[in-house]
Amino acid sequence: MLGALINALGAVSLGAPIGMQSLSKTIHWSFLMSVFTVVPATAVLGASWIDWHRIFASLKPIGIIEHMLLVPAYGAIIGGWFGAWPMPLDWERPWQEWPICVCYGAIGGYIGGQMVSLLTLLSEHKNLKLA
């Protein structure tokens, strides 16, 4: 819940529309971003502020699991950022509305981050095999 609130405040501060219809869309988007960024890390790290800071602020993950938390979370954030680029273009397409293209970008970035994590894991640990 706190992660969704922080995501929503960040979106509004970066220019997300404010209004009754837009507010519900912003809240839904912030929950989606929390599922990609905060929920997996909370399940693994719990409330350890030191681990959160080391992984997400200092970018120093230790081990496979922390690497698998970091890369997809940043992938979702970067993907959402790239997804926001077509919104100000004046094409008047339905997919340009807030937060449709940002959601697609976040989903694509998260999937891309998962793939990068998996490929990194497989390249570093050659003896691992996919089932």
Q: What is the 3-state secondary structure (H, E, C) of the chain?
A: CHHHHHHHHHHHHCCCCCCHHHHHHHHHHHHHHHHHHHHHHHHHHCCCHHHHHHHHHCCCCCHHHHHHHHHHHHHHHHHHHHHCCCCCCCCCCHHHCCCHHHHHHHHHHHHHHHHHHHHHHHHHCCCCCCC
Chain-centroid distance of CA 68 in Å reads 13
pTM of the model: 0.85
Nearest to residue 8, comparing CAs of 97, 28, 19, 20?
28
Do 106 and 131 meet the contact criterion of CB atoms below 8 Å apart? no
Distance in angstroms (rounded) separating the CA atoms of residues 60 and 43: 19
**Tokens standing for 18?**
């404010």
pLDDT, one tens digit for every residue, the chain (131 residues): 788 888 888 888 887 888 888 888 999 999 999 999 999 999 999 999 999 999 999 999 998 899 999 999 999 999 999 998 988 887 888 888 889 999 999 999 999 999 999 999 888 877 767 66
Nearest to residue 11, comparing CAs of 56, 24, 72?
24
